[in-house]
Amino acid sequence: MRDISCRLLVIGAGPGGYVCAIRAGQLGIDTVVVEAKKLGGTCLNVGCIPSKALIHAADEYARVAHFASGDSPHGISLTAPRFDLGRTMQWKDGVVGRLTGGVSALLKKANVKIVEGWARFLDGKTVDVETEIGTQVIRAEQVVIATGSNPVELPALPFGGPVISSTEALALTAVPRRLVVVGAGYIGLELGTAFAKMGAAVSVIEALPRILPQYDAELTRPVAERLRALGITVLTGAKAKELTAAKDGLVVERSDNEAVTIEADRILVAVGRRPATDGWDLEAIDLDMDGPFIDVDDRCRTSMRGVYAIGDVTGEPMLAHRASAQGEMVAEIVAGKRRAWDRVCIPAICFTDPEVVVAGLTPEAARAANIEIVTDAFPFRANGRAMTLVSDAGFIRMVARADDHLLLGIQGVGAGISELSAAFSLAIEMGARLEDVAGTIFAHPTLSEGMLEAALKTLGQPIHI
Ligand SMILES: Cc1cc2nc3c(=O)[nH]c(=O)nc-3n(C[C@H](O)[C@H](O)[C@H](O)COP(=O)(O)OP(=O)(O)OC[C@H]3O[C@@H](n4cnc5c(N)ncnc54)[C@H](O)[C@@H]3O)c2cc1C
């Protein structure tokens, strides 16, 4: 097989790598992308997209099941609906297929060469790739490592049998009767909630004292209330110990140190993700590390000249849109443009019920950084649109600098609030002040009016409360 020489080699075609490769190709850079599994990476194949598809299907089913219970405030009733997870998975796979096919077409349109196989470093500018037809050597002037991340395995609960990761959970074709979720981070809660809505009896085990421990208690309270209403058992301060001998349950050490057994058909371990740094001879290039992650500077440059790293392999927040933004930046740097990481805000969303959005600094984080702030929140129970949607739990909260009211953060929790994340980020990224938001006309009746009211309330001038 003839060696390939190129100007830019991208290893991994997740949202970091494929965006980098497309932009590089558009900029006229001779680019090769290597992908061992499927174009689109974790995000399109076993992450963001399939999980949101499943959450949507579960929401739809829960809605009609609620109508069937005869308890609908809208006056809608119907007879018992049925849920066919196998069919849902086929539909989800169709959505994934359309998106990954789109990535392939976009890469080709940008004249990017795609090599399928597992890449290993020979030196900082050379890899060999195990392809189906033999070993392909690729030499590049510059290399981007975009190998992503993998689910963390618990030593006492290795994946296999009833113990599954999010990847297997997103491929189940039957709803487990009893599901235990280990880890109450966003992935565990999103999937746990979806399966509960599909009819599974769900228990969530979390070692820390509360769910979604990376967010403040105020933001996560409505989610905890909804989990209770859905009949999900949440054990916080509890540790998953081991499978029962018959592999039909999980032994858990509760916060009072008592060991209990929770019967389960499936145990979803969602305790985090670790950077994918194994199996591609990272040792051959001996890069500086930042803990388990590849250390990068504000241009995503590693400690080796001409070698960049982007996305989950470079650390938190491990989010698709951060990976893509880094990828786009690196492509432009390789093309000779002056770029550096200057983003103020990387929004994060939990697609729980209700959804949680965190953009910029929370009050806690701002105070920890010794910034004097003003902060206040507007509840959706005072928002007309939320009432018409029969989901008025939650609020929007503003965090601004006390002296000049520059917005430092906007957070919220509420049904459908994920779509407001763009407005939150835009305001922060553009350096808006509370007065700028308060001086903007928000269309009525929308949930986004909560953003206007939150700004007004933080200024001490609320209208609707
Ligand atoms: C269930 C779940 C839900 C999620 N939901 C969201 C969400 O709602 N929003 C959000 O922003 N993020 C979400 N994420 C996280 C998101 O998927 C990741 O942050 C994102 O995919 C990271 O992109 P990446 O390009 O860094 O890596 P990845 O998407 O992990 O892609 C890396 C690619 O590199 C390939 N690769 C690795 N090593 C090699 C090698 N040696 N040779 C060739 N190819 C290689 C892999 O096969 C993989 O395809 C979710 C994740 C999961 C698991």
Confidence of residue 69 (pLDDT cuts 50, 70, 90): confident
CA of 32 to the centre of ligand 1 (A): 19
Ligand 1: lining residues by beta carbon, under 6 Å: 11-17, 34-37, 41-43, 47-48, 51, 118-119, 146-149, 166, 187, 276, 280, 311-312, 318-321, 323, 351
CA of 181 to the centre of ligand 1 (A): 21
| pTM of the entire predicted model | 0.97
CA of 122 to the centre of ligand 1 (A): 24
Give yes or no for residue 74 having a pLDDT over 90.
Answer: no
CB atoms within 10 A of CB 354: 22
Ligand 1 atom with the shortest distance to the CA of 321: 11
Query: DSSP per residue over 206-262, as a string?
Result: ESSSSSSTTS-HHHHHHHHHHHHHTT-EEEES-EEEEE-TTSSEEEEE-TTS-EEEE
pLDDT tens digits, residue range 281-338?
998 899 999 999 999 999 999 999 999 999 999 999 999 999 999 999 999 999 999 9
Catalytic residue among 56, 66, 444, 464: 444
Mutate to test the pocket of ligand 1, among 10, 18, 20, 42 (most ligand atoms within 8 A of CB): 42
- How far is it, in rounded angstroms, from Cα 379 to Cα 360? 20
Nearest CA to ligand 1 atom 51: 47
pLDDT tens digits, residue range 237-294?
999 999 999 999 999 999 999 999 999 999 999 999 999 999 999 988 999 999 999 9
Is residue 179 a contact partner of residue 189, using CB atoms and an 8 Å limit? no
Work out the widest C-alpha separation in the chain, in whole angstroms. 71
CA of 340 to the centre of ligand 1 (A): 23
Torsion of CA 281, 316, 167, 146, to 10 degrees: -40
Q: List Cα–Cα distances, 276 to 42, 181, 290, in angstroms.
A: 11, 23, 14
Catalytic residue check, 66: no
